[in-house]
């Protein structure tokens, strides 16, 4: 592995966080439109301010609470409560979580593969366009990663140092992450299995007692937060997990092998997209060569990496089998840990290339790491064009349509639209989530988004069209507003 000019962790982290901050602020300032899920989280945060108990009972409230807190802080400097303030508050707290998550990720990588590989791995993670975009949008993925990575690092530290405080901290961090996304609870599963194995391997009573004590510390930290949350929410399992269990006959009745095959293909596709295709085979090569050399990996790495990859793949397969979809951001917990093997893969490939130039000047000692940096530069150059593209690009018509509705409609008007973001930016309520004849009969305005993915309703048969306002003329992004009454 190439040597870094500075071996200081503080300097490495300062450089990495500065790069992530630069791109994060750039993406926030150039964003045209936030994602659909972002609107849901912001509206949940708005609802939390007036009815927190409803939000806590309805779904994991962690991220809406963070948005609410960020908005409260922003209110100290900006009067009022406009949509833009809510959006910037959500984006800012998300970016902050992304920046903070780089710290436990870096140190986790240092434990697994060394500081140099960890540095390059985190650098690659920073420039990956999809994770970067998620970090400047208003989504809960990076807040989840913050507590997930922090919990993993605390657990690793507890195992290596044999100190109960780290296990308790790992439990507490997992409990916080659980309230953002229930998948964070997988840390407890890993810790439980590791300590259970160590318990049975221990040769004396004192060693066995220590493992039990560590397990109790881990569980107590998690239960301190998760039990009150579960009691208030009156639900133990996440909604999707509960639905999957209640509808287990759906799995039995379906073609399970076919569904699993499709799910695996979908996982490979989404992971490849996250890694911009270029880094995905590099990751596989790094994993293979790392685990092929039994002397190079510790027991910690040998247990946790397969366990983490295996459990997350199972979660994604179950998600696909039950709901028929996997999103790219669902793969992020697995990606942010496995990313540490990308530099190792680049090192292996650069070694292959150097052997091919054994008799050329590239074999010279001064250029021993040249191909590593060339491959790294190629990968980063592939990422940069997509990395700098604004969020919601091509959807400026949505904002223009929202502004028109804001200026020309009242809050009592009923507006029908497929994409709730238009209504959100227009600061209007959404009385209906789907179209039907009754909806159209009661509607005052209908917003048509010309898109090949779905067919718009033929509302002209129900109501006479009065006028249409063409907001945006870009191909496949036209937005037309019809007044129905």
332: nearest Cα among 128, 115, 108, 28: 128
φ/ψ of residue 293, rounded to 5: -90, 95
Query: Does residue 436 have a pLDDT over 60?
Result: no
Residue 236, both tokens: 């133990």
Q: What is the residue-averaged pLDDT of the chain?
A: 85
Mean pLDDT throughout 85-105? 95
- The whole-number pLDDT of residue 461 equals 44
| CA 238 to each of CA 183, 382, 480: distance values in angstroms, whole numbers, following the listed order | 9, 38, 39
Banded pLDDT at 297 (limits 50, 70, 90): confident
Dist CA 376 CA 85 (whole Å)? 38
Alpha carbons 316 and 259: distance in angstroms, whole number: 12
Mean pLDDT in residue range 197-204:
90
Mean pLDDT, residues 50-57 = 88
Give the pLDDT of residue 237: 64
Residue 245 has pLDDT above 80, yes or no: no
Supply the pLDDT for residue 205: 87
Tokens of 263: 């799910």
Phi and psi torsions of 420, nearest 5°: -65, -15
Using pLDDT thresholds of 50, 70 and 90, give the confidence band for residue 360: low
CA distances in angstroms from 200 to 156, 211, 315, listed in the order given:
19, 9, 28
Q: Residue 268: what pLDDT?
A: 95
Rounded Cα distance between 482 and 433, Å, is 18
Q: What residues does each domain of the chain span? A: 9-139+237-387, 396-483
Please say if the pLDDT value at position 339 is more than 60: yes
Q: Residue 5: pLDDT above 80?
A: no
Share of the chain above pLDDT 90, in %: 54
Give the integer Cα–Cα distance in Å for 218 and 147: 15
**Mean pLDDT calculated for residue range 339-363:** 82
Exposure string of 163-172, with b = 16+ CB inside 10 Å and e = fewer, is: ebebbbbbbb
Count how many residues are written for the chain: 485
Torsion of CA 281, 286, 288, 289, to 10 degrees: 140
Q: What angle do CA 8, 11, 16 make, to 5 degrees?
A: 125
Rounded CA separation 318/325 (Å): 10
CA dihedral 140, 141, 145, 147 (to 10 degrees): 20
* Nearest CA among 434, 419, 411 for reference residue 472: 419
CB 216 within 8 A of CB 235: no
Rounded CA gap, 114 and 137, in Å?
31
pLDDT of residue 3: 45
**123-150 per-position pLDDT tens digit:** 999 999 999 999 999 999 999 999 999 9
Rounded-to-10 torsion of CA 363, 365, 366, 367:
30
Phi, psi angles (nearest 5°) of residue 150: -65, -40
Q: How far, in Å, CA of 375 to CA of 361, rounded?
A: 18
Task: Report whether pLDDT(252) > 60.
Answer: no
Residues 6+ apart with CB under 8 A from 80: none
pLDDT above 70: residue 475:
no
pLDDT bracket for residue 370 (50, 70, 90): confident
Any residues with CB less than 8 A from the CB of 475 and at least 6 apart, and which?
none
CB atoms under 10 Å from CB of 317, counted, come to 19
H or E segment to which residue 30 belongs: helix 9-30
Q: Is the pLDDT of residue 340 over 60?
A: yes
User: If pLDDT is split at 50, 70 and 90, which confidence band does 406 have?
Assistant: confident
- The span from the CA of 460 to the CA of 257, in Å, is 46
Confidence of residue 223 (pLDDT cuts 50, 70, 90): very high
Percent of the chain scored above 70 by pLDDT?
83
Could you tell me where the DSSP H helices lie in 162-274? 164-178, 186-201, 205-233, 239-246, 248-253, 256-274
pLDDT at 401 over 70: yes
């Amino acid at each position: 592995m190439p040597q870094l000019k500075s071996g200081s962790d503080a300097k490495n982290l300062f450089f990495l966080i500065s790069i992530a901050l630069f791109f994060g602020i750039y993406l926030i300032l150039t964003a045209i439109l936030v994602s659909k899920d972002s609107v849901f989280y912001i509206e949940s945060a708005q609802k939390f301010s007036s009815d927190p108990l409803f939000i806590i009972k309805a779904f994991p409230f962690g991220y809406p609470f963070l948005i609410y807190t960020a908005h409260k802080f922003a209110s100290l400097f900006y009067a009022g409560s406009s949509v833009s303030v809510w959006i910037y508050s959500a984006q800012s707290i998300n970016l902050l979580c992304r920046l903070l998550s780089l710290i436990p990720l870096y140190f986790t990588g240092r434990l697994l593969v060394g500081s140099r590989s960890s540095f390059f791995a985190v650098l690659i993670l920073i420039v990956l366009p999809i994770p970067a975009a998620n970090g400047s949008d208003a989504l809960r993925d990076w807040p989840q990663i913050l507590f997930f990575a922090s919990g993993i690092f605390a657990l690793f530290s507890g195992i290596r140092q044999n100190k109960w405080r780290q296990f308790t901290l790992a439990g507490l961090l997992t409990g916080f992450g659980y309230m953002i996304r229930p998948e964070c609870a997988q840390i407890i599963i890993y810790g439980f299995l590791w300590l259970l194995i160590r318990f049975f391997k221990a040769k004396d009573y004192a060693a066995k007692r220590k493992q039990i004590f560590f397990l109790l510390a881990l569980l107590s930290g998690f239960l301190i937060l998760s039990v009150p949350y579960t009691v208030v929410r009156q639900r133990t399992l996440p909604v999707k997990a509960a639905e999957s269990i209640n509808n287990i006959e759906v799995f039995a009745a379906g073609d399970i092998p076919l569904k699993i095959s499709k799910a695996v293909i979908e996982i490979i596709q989404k992971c490849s997209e996250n890694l911009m295709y270029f880094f995905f085979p590099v990751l596989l090569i790094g994993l293979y060569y790392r685990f092929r050399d039994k002397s190079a990996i510790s027991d910690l790495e040998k247990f946790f990496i397969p366990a983490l990859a295996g459990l997350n793949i199972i979660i994604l397969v179950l998600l696909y089998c039950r709901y028929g979809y996997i999103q790219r951001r669902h793969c992020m917990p697995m990606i942010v840990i496995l990313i540490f093997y990308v530099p190792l893969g680049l090192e292996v490939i650069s070694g292959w290339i150097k052997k091919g130039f054994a008799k050329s000047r590239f074999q010279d000692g001064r250029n021993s790491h040249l191909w590593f940096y060339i491959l790294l530069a190629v990968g980063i150059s592939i990422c940069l064009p997509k990395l700098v593209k604004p969020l919601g690009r091509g959807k400026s018509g949505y904002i223009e349509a929202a502004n028109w509705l804001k200026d020309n409609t009242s809050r009592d008007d009923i507006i029908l639209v497929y994409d709730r973001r238009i209504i959100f930016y227009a600061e209007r309520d959404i009385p209906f989530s789907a179209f039907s004849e009754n909806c159209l009969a009661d509607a005052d305005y209908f917003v048509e988004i010309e898109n090949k993915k779905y067919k718009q309703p033929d509302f002209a048969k129900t109501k006479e069209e009065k006028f249409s306002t063409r907001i945006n003329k870009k191909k496949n992004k036209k937005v037309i507003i019809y007044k129905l009454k």
